[in-house]
Amino acid sequence: MRGFAHRQRMQQQGARREDVMNRPMIAIINTWSDLSPCHAHFPQRVESVKKGILAAGGYPVELPAMSLGEVMVKPTTMLYRNFLAMEVEELLRSLPCDGVVILAGCDKTTPGTLMGAFSMDIPTLFVPAGPMLNDRYVKDGVSRSIGAGTHTRIFWDDYQAGKIDAAELQHLESRMTRAPGTCNTMGTASTMTGMVEALGLTLPGASSIPAMDSAHTRMATTCGERIVEMVWQDLKPSRVVTRGSFQNALAVQMALGGSTNAAVHVIAMAGRLGIELSLDDLDAMAQTVPVLANLFPSGDRLMEDFYYAGGLPALMKVIEPFLSTTELTVAGSTVAQNLSKAEVLDPDVIRPLDRPVSHAGALAVLKGNLAPNGAVIKPSAASEKLLKHRGPALVFDNQPEMLKAMADEALDCDENTVLVLRNAGPVGAPGMPEWGNLPIPAKLLKQGVRDMLRLSDARMSGTHYGTCVLHISPESAVGGPLALVRTGDMIDLDVAQRRLHLEVSAEELEARRAAWIPTSALPMRGFTRLYQQHVTQAHEGCDFDFLQGNSPTPEPVIF
């Protein structure tokens, strides 16, 4: 009866009975929308995937999913990452799909879609959106590469300081993001798609192809063919992705100089497969694998240059001694087999191990009385002189208060001040927005100051730079030590020692805790209420507590 009804309804749409009989039904999860410029090319890529599926004997069905255009969503796409994960899981569970091709790439869409696919555990192949094209900026006869995100902050600060005028800023606004695709710096988008390739869930080299390159279209068609083969092989994520695969992903993150956002995403992704991964694992890899990709914000090149230099396979070839190369990938081959012909074509973009872009490392996990469960910093994108710093705190309880103060020419601070923002974590904001790259006070920008030590329980865009301590856990809204900091308290940071310390006695902190009154209130309704009630802390991946682990969910009852 059920099959009769399904075939009947497919024929209602114009499909022939023989089109759907005895063929794998392949879902194409499409995160396109008119408000997601990173995914503007996905309607065309869906057609390419469909062509490959049909050629291999499958039947494609497109399933739209929530599109999280990073710069368009308020207050933050992170609030909705788990929403997307739930949507993907339930789409695949409730509909008759044998395998899935996922089209995603903009920051939270990559972990969100894969978290859902991991929980469902049917054959899965990921099509990365690909980075946008480079831009060039010429001033005073000097030409330089310009990338999204990193230079947005640079030029905005220059405008605030009076170094460029409104007309020049408007010109830059119209040029810096000149084609569909994800940020062309080593932001969260390229960090996560690179890590997914290292996990073995993309075709080899797929994550580096620019969105507008014809190779991207061909890759999408090949993905359509390959997923049908994967269904017949029952090649599910649980067979491909192991702890060794995650170690490979961490090695790639560090070599790329990847985004700090990866810390919350990779832990959440591993948790969906029942694989234990912690901040300590990330820190250990960061102290082993140096930054080798010469890409903004750690370096001075962009993703298009990375592609021409050999892309991710070339980078993985360089760090092959640190990889588990026997891991299986969706290509049906091992990591070692995929890397056998990889080579670096531009050693200035993909550096050798003895000539890293930065000796500071892509990530450091800090602990101390201010961050008992950990906090993260990106040393390779920070100021070396601030990696060991002691200074007085200037505390803000919310973002509007902070932004107003930053414009105040009479603000009592100098370059040694430690800016502190709280109530910006998973529960407090809610959603843990990218507020961690706190702006430099306007009066200091005019004095030439471009970096200060900044602390928060928020995140920071992977495209941004600066000495920013992020993801402080537990967050202030649930009573973490950040809630107890007062303006004037001395804060001591020592990245080399992995230490973040508030110079206040334990007795004084206990007294402050006794007087602390929570300020975060649950919203009356909707997803935000569910989020605040069930989201875990940053060091646990910010997943929902009821979605962690790999215990099976019963299939819906079919009558």
527 and 66 Cβ atoms separated by less than 8 Å:
no
109/70 Cα distance (integer angstroms): 9
Quick count: other Cβ atoms within 10 Å of Cβ 165? 9
Query: Residue 29 has which token pair?
Result: 């999860």
Radius of gyration of the chain (CA): 24
pLDDT of res. 190: 98
pLDDT of res. 463: 86
pTM for the complete prediction?
Answer: 0.96
391/366 Cα distance (integer angstroms): 17
The 3-state DSSP class for residue 523 equals coil
E strand or H helix at 29: strand 25-30
DSSP secondary structure letters along 47-79: HHHHHHHHHTT-EEEEEE-----TTTSSS-THH
pLDDT along the chain (559 residues), means of 10: 85 91 96 97 98 98 97 95 98 96 98 98 98 87 82 84 89 88 96 98 98 98 98 98 98 98 98 97 98 95 97 98 98 98 98 96 98 97 97 97 96 98 96 96 95 98 93 97 98 98 97 92 87 97 96 70
98/75 Cα distance (integer angstroms): 35
- Residue limits of CATH 3.50.30.80 in the chain: 364-515
| Nearest CA among 322, 323, 454, 467 for reference residue 393 | 454
- In DSSP terms, which residues pair with 45 in a beta bridge? none
pLDDT of res. 172: 86
62 and 46 Cβ atoms separated by less than 8 Å:
yes
Burial bucket for residue 491 (CB in 10 Å: 0-12, 13-18, 19+): buried
Looking only at Cα atoms, what is the longest distance across the chain? 76
149/287 Cα distance (integer angstroms): 27
The amino acid at residue 13 is Q
pLDDT of res. 553: 73
107 and 68 Cβ atoms separated by less than 8 Å:
yes
Tokens 């502190």 -> residue: 420
Quick count: other Cβ atoms within 10 Å of Cβ 201? 27
538/473 Cα distance (integer angstroms): 6
CA dist 86 → 92, 493, 522 (Å): 10, 38, 21
pLDDT of res. 418: 98
- Residue limits of CATH 3.40.50.2300 in the chain: 14-132+182-339
DSSP secondary structure letters along 386-424: GSEEEEEEEEESSHHHHHHHHT-TT----TT-EEEE-S-
pLDDT of res. 448: 95
Class of domain 364-515: alpha beta
- In DSSP terms, which residues pair with 143 in a beta bridge? 138
455/468 Cα distance (integer angstroms): 6
241/253 Cα distance (integer angstroms): 16
pLDDT of res. 354: 97
161/167 Cα distance (integer angstroms): 15
pLDDT of res. 139: 80
Ramachandran bin of 181, using left for φ above 0, alpha for ψ from -120 to 50, beta for the remaining angles: left
188/464 Cα distance (integer angstroms): 10
Strands 388-396 and 418-421, bridge-based pairing: parallel
155/173 Cα distance (integer angstroms): 10
For the chain, what's the residue count? 559
- In DSSP terms, which residues pair with 490 in a beta bridge? 392
CATH number of 14-132+182-339, picked from 3.40.50.300, 3.40.50.2300, 2.40.50.140, 3.40.190.10: 3.40.50.2300
E strand or H helix at 499: strand 499-502
Tokens 């649950």 -> residue: 522
